[in-house]
Amino acid sequence: MGDDGAMGGFAERLGARAEVAEDGSARVAFTARDEHLNQAGTLHGGVLATLVDTAMGAAVRSAVGDGDVPATSQLTVTYLRPGKPGDVTVTARVRSRGEHLTVTEADVEQRGESLVHAVATFALLHS
């Protein structure tokens, strides 16, 4: 299973900033700079995947108890258009929550356009 999408660690070092996470939803802000671009000069797909995973993990954590730790078990990222340097916003929400699995979705927007739509399933590990 993958990273649980926690803010801090890798996502924070990348520059992701949690703006809000409550009631099964989350919003993450990010400013894409030159070091986040691929050879074509557009926002690297791995950066975008990290951002949606981070936001969806935060959304799950905002909806479960302190004893439940979400871990990404499946992540599907659909790239709709290339991102450019500048600000992006990621919004995530819990779509369906079961005892052991939680389904989420997220969208990345830049300058009023959708860059990415993602869906993920998180396993809830009981600590």
- What CATH number corresponds to the domain at position 60? 3.10.129.10
Residue 2 belongs to a domain: no
- Give the max Cα distance, the chain: 43
Q: What is the pLDDT of residue 11?
A: 83
Q: What is the pLDDT of residue 8?
A: 59
Whether 115 maps to a domain, the answer reads yes
In DSSP notation, 53-73 reads HHHHHHHHHTTS-TTEEEEEE
Q: What is the mean pLDDT of residues 25-45?
A: 96
| Cα Rg of the chain (Å, integer) | 14
At position 28, the amino acid (one-letter code) is V
Helix runs in 7-65, H state only: 9-14, 45-61
Which has the closest alpha carbon to 70: 87, 44, 92, 38?
92
Report the pLDDT value the prediction gives residue 7, as an integer from 0 to 100.
Answer: 60
Whether 83 is in a domain gets the answer: yes
Condensed to tens digits (0 to 9), the pLDDT of residues 2-29 reads 443 446 578 888 889 888 889 999 999 9
pLDDT tens by residue, 61-96: 999 888 888 999 999 999 999 999 999 999 999 999
Question: What is the span of the domain harbouring residue 87?
Answer: 9-126
Between 9 and 33, the more confident residue is 33
Split into its structural domains, the chain has a count of 1
| Angstrom distances, CA of residue 46 to CA of 5, 37, 124 | 14, 10, 24
Residue 36 has pLDDT above 80, yes or no: yes
